[in-house]
Amino acid sequence: METLGDRIKTIRGLASQMQFSSSLGIAQTKLSRYERNTTPPDLDFLVRLSRRYAVSLEWLITGEGRMRASKNGDDETAPSSPHTENTAPRGVQTPEPAASLRQELALERLERRELSAENRRLHNENAALLRENGELREKVARLEERGNRRASAGDC
């Protein structure tokens, strides 16, 4: 695989971007940007992806080494199902309801952080547009005033 985006697509397999992004707790647009290599994913996302789909973090980040090792030690290159629920690190036994709730809480927190960041960005963009709109209104008012003066000077 050439790029990180290509490796993410390989892990996604035949699942839609919407299904895959939902299973990872991120927006579909963000996943799309990751896959197109226009935005680099953060480390939390890469670790979550690696754990959820039992993929080597080294392979995911660098493209080197094995994608994942099967139980007999052979290299396994087929992506896992996008509906795999194995999110705990290998060898760690957690009670299923608690693990499920922790995962859900973590996804909710991540989504909240992403939404907060998007809201801040949109707020700043809105403020800039409002300033620009005010400046343009002032320019239009000055131009109208200048045009009215010329029209009244021409009537004399």
Report phi then psi at 51, rounded to 5: -70, -45
pLDDT surpasses 80 at 33: yes
Give me 97's structure tokens.
Answer: 């309801």
Q: How far apart are the first and last CA of the chain?
A: 78
pLDDT, the chain, mean: 80
pLDDT given at position 42 = 87
Question: Mean per-residue pLDDT for 54-82?
Answer: 66
Give the 3-state secondary structure of residue 10.
helix
pLDDT given at position 93 = 45
Q: List pLDDT tens digits, range 81-136.
A: 443 344 444 444 444 667 777 777 888 888 888 888 889 999 999 999 999 999 99
pLDDT surpasses 80 at 16: yes
Residue 111: name the closest of 8, 32, 30, 11 by CA: 30
The residue ranking higher by pLDDT, 149 or 100, is: 149
What proportions of the chain, in percent to the nearest 5, are helix, strand and coil? Answer: 65, 5, 35
CA atoms within 13 A on the CB side of 37: 7
Contact 107, 38 (CB under 8 A): no
List Cβ neighbours of 53 (8 Å cut-off, separation of 6 or more): 11, 79, 80, 82, 84
CATH topology of domain 1-93: 434 Repressor (Amino-terminal Domain) (1.10.260)
